[in-house]
Structure 1
Amino acid sequence: MIKKGMRRQIVLHYILVVFLALLLVEVIFLLVIRTYYYDSIYTRITTQISQAEYFYRLSSKDSPFALQELLRSFDLNNTELQVLTLDGDMITSSTGFQPDRTITTSDVPEAVGGGIGRWVGRQTGTNESVMAVSKVLQIPGHDSYVLRYVTSVERVNSDLFNVTLLSAGIVVAVLAVVTAFSFGLANSIVKPLNNITAVSAQLAKGKFNIRIKGDYRYEIGELASTLNYMAQEIVRSNQIKDDFISSISHELRTPLTSIKGWSETLISGGYDPEETKLGMSIISKESDRLIGLVEEILDFSKLQQNEMKLSIGTVGVQELLKEIILNLWAKAEKRSIRLELEAEDGIYVRGDANRLKQVFLNLTDNAVKFSHEGSSVLLSARRVNEEEAEIVVQDSGIGISQEHLNRVKDRFFQVDSLNGGTGLGLAISQQLVELHGGTMEMDSELGKGTRVTVHLQLTEPLPAVEAPDRVSLPEPADHHERKEGQQ
């Protein structure tokens, strides 16, 4: 007995389907064979009746001698020919027995009704299976009789029974072969699943280095590949998480050390106002840095839990990019990096101004951070069509390799961990852009720079709001006049 499980279900279902199919085929086959044999007998008898009727019409005699001649001339082997009245009373028969009995089978009324009657059943007295075929012999001006042939179908039934036994044997043999085949089929499915289940149990226990081995095909192969990929991604995520914890610990410890050190120094007293002012400035700066790190982590947590709320309004892209440049000008000036703006007038998008500023501030800050000294960072905006705007942040800095480019927007991933940060900036920017119904694409070549393209849906400006005044951007001391975009 097969124990309960998928193997048993597969075997039983497969055998059941094949058995029902074979049973249906066998029933149809036996019905066809039986119908063929019975119809052959019926056809032979009806042909003989037609000849007898033709002979009777030619003789035109209504006498016992004509009927006897009919019996002698048109008798069939192993068949009794009977002549009956229209009421079913037997007048004579080819056997000469029981001439006074009345026939009550359904073939006689059918023949009297004008057709050829056919009846199959068991004959009274002998209990033998027979077929009776009857037809009325009628000549105008003469008496009408019923000509009835009765033949045994025992031999036919015996042959049909033998055919049934043979077909049943074939069915049993086929089922035996199918059963053996179904076990092989079930094992080919169940064994890989058992292997996958065992590996999954190991993965559930935290053994993520284990993999499903075996060249499985079709859906099982896809399942195995998916689980292996899942395990690989878990290992990678754990590694990224560990790297993130290590990185964020360092990021948090550095400002905390500065704050603690200067706090203890200031508490001890004995410093002039300038030194005190310097210490307080460092404490304030490091506190802002800590707040930025914490806010970044909180933003990411909200995005992951779909709890980020947007304050939707109409945002002027040119004015937004100007604010970005003003915010980062001092940082860029320290490294002699030019911030350039090329933006078409009248580009407005629908979104949260603060969150969009966060996106482009992060993108521009990254561009400044990874640009060479004396290079430039370009912020541009243009209409792609009547429905979409394209905003680009492009630098000519160190660039990103193709290997890292595919992962740079993953959470916690950092191309260069020495530059600090949580590795969440681009992941947050990507999700914020998607929340605005836009897309963010990155193109980069190692050593030649990076281009980040953001597509956002255009909207009409608020009619009551006047366009803001032009913002004059400060110029770097060591460079030419900075190139302005369309203002």
Structure 2
Amino acid sequence: MGIKRRLLFQNLTIISLTIALLLGILISGIYHYYYNGTADILKNHAINSAQFADRYMNISTYTLRSHLSEIQNNFSLPQAEMQILDANGDLLSSSSGFQHDHTSQFKDIEEALHLESGTWMGHHPITQEHILAVSVPLMEEKKTVGVLRFVTSLEPLDDNFRTIIGTLFIIGLIILIIVFLVSKAFARNIITPVVELTEVSQKLAMGKLETQVVGTYKDEFQTLSKSFNEMAKELLKTQQMKNQFISSISHELRTPLTSIKGWSETLLAGDLRNVNETETGLTIISNETNRLIGLVEELLDFSRYSKNTFQIFPSLFSFDSLLKQVILQFDKKIKSRNLTIVFENEEPIELKADENRIRQVLINLVDNAIKYSDTNTTITIHYELSHRFFYFGVVDEGKGIEENQIHNVSELFFKVDENSEGAGLGLAISKHIIELHHGKLFIESKKGIGTRAGFKLPISPIQQADAK
């Protein structure tokens, strides 16, 4: 059963039970009002009549028959048959003029003969008419000398009661139909967003990641639709990043492999005694191999990053020595672009951190500074140890980064220049490394002026003492 049917079924069930309960209460109230009210009227009149007769007419077993006409004239009730019975329950007189047999068989008469007022409601055994009868005893010195009985037909009352019940049922049915229509509209309002969200989720599952929830909803459905759209955007972004990553990695792997294969074939087909050619080829093969190793290391780091298994192993090491090693590593690249490296300070500093991971961060920051610097410009490097933090920054005079792209630079697979080397993992992994050290990676840039990138690390108590 679908949600719509369940909602309709639940609403109709609740409303039906409510209407049935209200109808039951109303019918019960109306029944008691009409039937018990009629019985009370007859009973009160019969009791008052019997008391008056006992007090003022000197009725006895011997004089009862002589007072029949007087009793009939004084105590008769419109729309009710008045009967007078003797102490044996035999009918002596009736205002209707009809004589009835076996009147003593009625329950109300039996109770009246035992000095109690009696009421009986049912169908007459002969005529099958629905009647109400009330009987009270006529007494002389606490002895029953006769019975005063009033009988009225309930057929008109039954007709009115059935009419009222029918009207109430029609009203209940109208209410139920209105509730059904309103519930159907409400259910549609609930089901419509559910159906659309279901269709959107199915399209997303089929890979149609550009799908969006277009309906405008309220309350929780608005939040849910926004969440769906955000999820679709993130999935689409992830899909694009994956495609970009595959494309970038394929390109990055193909280039060194092509060089390695080309120079390998050249060396095999050439004269191995040509020292210059052999040395050049082997140098290129070695460089491209190192480049492949670097790419593989980045991919391994990315795998650890994705699985959240990235770990650091802090130890004390000489930061200034490590930085010089990194700069020396890029010596050829620096000279080829005629760049100048300026150290604002070169004081020896002992830093407690993961040396290999910090090396990885420095390589990435310095390589980016060299890569995006214009030729014949200066790269400035500054680092210092304060009482609470260690600061490192590298400033280039290169192309700079658009302001709207700065916050994306440290994201996975993002590259300012799609044609540049690398897979766009370096800064994202560097940021993760610094954050594992409880530090912060920062990038500030202005288009056409240059970029300042670096990091800030909190220092340990031992380093604080050394800094003082």
TM-score, L = length of structure 2: 0.67
The worse-fitting range, judged by mean Cα deviation, of 48-57 and 267-276 is: 267-276
* 2:299 alignment partner AA: I
Q: Is the counterpart of residue 48 in structure 1 residue 45 in structure 2? A: yes
1:129 is matched with: 130
2:289 is matched with: 287
> Structure 1 regions of 5+ residues with no counterpart?
348-352, 383-390, 462-466, 471-482
Between the aligned partners of 1:246 and 1:136, the Cα distance in structure 2 is 112
- Mapping of 1:108-257 within 5 angstroms? 118-133=119-134, 141-143=142-144, 148-178=149-179, 181=182, 206-209=207-210, 211-218=212-219, 221-222=222-223, 224-257=225-258
The worse-fitting range, judged by mean Cα deviation, of 443-452 and 25-34 is: 443-452
CA contact (8 A) 1:133 1:150 kept: yes
Q: Percent identity?
A: 30
Between the aligned partners of 1:110 and 1:432, the Cα distance in structure 2 is 105
Give the C-alpha shift of residue 37 in structure 1: 1.9
- Mapping of 1:245-394 within 5 angstroms? 245-260=246-261, 263=264, 268-270=271-273, 276=279, 283-301=285-303, 304=306, 306=307, 319=315, 322=317, 326-332=321-327, 335-336=341-342, 362-369=360-367, 373-377=379-383
Between the aligned partners of 2:129 and 2:347, the Cα distance in structure 1 is 109
2:32 is matched with: 35
CA contact (8 A) 1:72 1:94 kept: no
2:335 is matched with: none
Q: 1:112 to 1:199 in 2, by over 3 A?
A: same
CA contact (8 A) 1:376 1:396 kept: yes
- Structure 1 SS opposite 2:380: coil
CA contact (8 A) 1:443 1:450 kept: yes
CA contact (8 A) 1:370 1:397 kept: no
The worse-fitting range, judged by mean Cα deviation, of 329-338 and 27-36 is: 329-338
Q: Deviations over 1:8-55 (max 9, x none)?
A: 666666555555544443343333322322232233234334534653
Q: Deviations over 1:365-423 (max 9, x none)?
A: 544455682232567895xxxxxxxx876646589777446545543233455664333
Give the C-alpha shift of residue 127 in structure 1: 1.6
Q: 1:427 to 1:98 in 2, by over 3 A?
A: farther
- Mapping of 1:436-455 within 5 angstroms? 445-447=444-446, 449=452
Q: 1:291 to 1:44 in 2, by over 3 A?
A: farther
Bigger proportion of residues as helix = 2
CA contact (8 A) 2:256 2:292 kept: yes
- Structure 1 SS opposite 2:250: helix
Between the aligned partners of 1:453 and 1:47, the Cα distance in structure 2 is 102
Give the C-alpha shift of residue 158 in structure 1: 0.8
- Structure 2 SS opposite 1:373: strand
- Structure 1 SS opposite 2:467: coil
Q: 1:201 to 1:310 in 2, by over 3 A?
A: closer
Between the aligned partners of 2:112 and 2:362, the Cα distance in structure 1 is 102
Give the C-alpha shift of residue 179 in structure 1: 5.3
CA contact (8 A) 1:343 1:380 kept: no
Q: Is the counterpart of residue 26 in structure 1 residue 27 in structure 2? A: no
2:107 is matched with: 105
1:75 is matched with: 76
- Structure 2 SS opposite 1:102: helix
Give the C-alpha shift of residue 157 in structure 1: 1.6
Between the aligned partners of 1:160 and 1:141, the Cα distance in structure 2 is 40
Q: 1:344 to 1:263 in 2, by over 3 A?
A: closer
The structure with the largest alpha-carbon Rg is: 2
- Structure 2 SS opposite 1:39: helix
Between the aligned partners of 1:113 and 1:401, the Cα distance in structure 2 is 111
